[in-house]
Amino acid sequence: MKKYAHFSELQQDLFQGETTCVAQVALHLKAIESHRHLNAFVEVYREEALERASVIDQKIKNNTAGKLAGLVIGLKDVLCHQGHRLQGGSKILEGFVSQFTGTAVQRLLDEDAIVIGRQNCDEFAMGSSNENSAFGPVRHAMDPSRVPGGSSGGSAVAVMADMCRVSIGSDTGGSVRQPAAFCGVVGLKPTYTRISRHGLMAYGSSFDCIGIFSKSIHDVAQVLEIMAGPDEFDSTVSHQPVPRYANNITADKKNYRIAFLKEAFDTPGLQPEIRDQISLRLSWLKKRGHVVEPIELPMNQYVLPTYYILATAEASSNLSRYDGVRYGYRSDNTTDVLSLYKRTRAEGFGKEVQRRILLGTFVLSASYYQAYYTKAQQVRRMIREEIKKVFEKYDVLIMPTTPTTAFKLGAHTSNPVQMYLADLFSVQANVAGVPAISIPCGEDENKLPIGMQVVADDFQEEQLLQFANLALNLHE
């Protein structure tokens, strides 16, 4: 299998007749089959993908192919694709088939991308390890005894193990960047509202973002360019112009002003190899003439609790629609309507989802609404204002993506708080609504990937991708 650094290189061979879309799909299907034990896919569209590839091969011959002709993608099991099953990794949506295709997915299909299958994830995108799925845990491609990160673990592993070239996931508190870091691939969370959420299963509506996985920043830029932009089905999406991200990825900016979060590097829970590898990358940047300075964010200590108060409150509201009456799983052990609701939700939702619904319902209860929900919204505004001030002086902010590398399966399942701490550095960008990307940054002593997180100001994805490309290819 010929390795292509960027999709544009593959596409060049496709248009010159050196390979075909059918051949590329067949290679990815072979990889999926050989890595079945990793449980990255819950459903593979084998015949459909091959048939579509054949149609696109003909389009290429006729010079009518779209911009993404030949790009094989996987979809996290929270994205609507008409006529295909959608479960969000949950038993409660057993047998549900999507009635429409979400905007982001449709835009990829319109440009002749090929969807190869539906990828495993934590139930309703709630988790940091991909152990909460009704389909069972996803396993790390380098060490199957370890987690791949979550909630988009299947999407990250699929890219890592060449089961597809690009995966489309979702990021509510780090669910693209954290598994990208664990799996040694690139993971982008764009600015909130940069990509339409129409067709994305809701977890925390004011945090949810559609994100992108690939081994190539160029591929991420090309896919972002297609998916981003206004949408009549999503009133919250931004109408800001969409730059030609892919064309400008190698644009040269002589001197970046780079901030790094001092308290993140001083955190006792940070794995030493992560501190060392990112510090080394920062020293290389400084040697090349870029300004590199430490900063402190006093509000940072409130980011994680603020996120979990607000996200669980929104989850409690969003997941109330799953009741066993209209669609999905319905319990047989019922005697009346009330028992139907109770038993369906008790049997259909997993323990982690139940935990977050209960916490969110408590936060929204009349007695505690002002004390928790309202106060958390006020703190969220203060956190956003603080990070916005950083970008008045600096181009990017650097911090670790995760406190540790991939941990063992089952290591944190008995301690939810320890599991939530895996989101320690990633939730900042979601609470503030700004874009962030995780890029590979060396390995630990067990050869497990380390991720470095780069954060930028609102709608500065172009600069973020340019800097990430520079940092990723940096050598002493």
Closest CA to 267 of 384, 422, 435: 422
Closest CA to 40 of 161, 221, 185: 161
CA distance 399 to 313: 28
**From 76, 189, 196, 215, the catalytic residue:** 76
Instruction: Say if strands 166-171 and 114-119 run parallel, antiparallel, or are unpaired.
Output: unpaired
Instruction: Say if strands 396-400 and 436-443 run parallel, antiparallel, or are unpaired.
Output: unpaired
CB of 81 within 8 A of CB of 49? Answer: no
The partner residues of 74 in beta bridges, in order of sequence, read 117, 167
Active-site residue, 175 included = yes
CA distance 155 to 168: 7
Closest CA to 334 of 348, 344, 325, 326: 344
State both tokens at 130: 């991909």
In 142-262, beta strands by DSSP E = 166-171, 186-189, 209-214, 257-261
Active-site residue, 151 included = yes
- The residue written with tokens 């009635």 in the block is 99
The partner residues of 44 in beta bridges, in order of sequence, read 117
CB of 65 within 8 A of CB of 166? Answer: no
**From 129, 133, 151, 170, the catalytic residue:** 151
Active-site residue, 414 included = no
**From 133, 170, 175, 216, the catalytic residue:** 175
- The answer to whether the peptide bond before residue 317 is cis (omega within 30 degrees of 0) is no
Which residues does the annotation mark as catalytic?
76, 151, 175
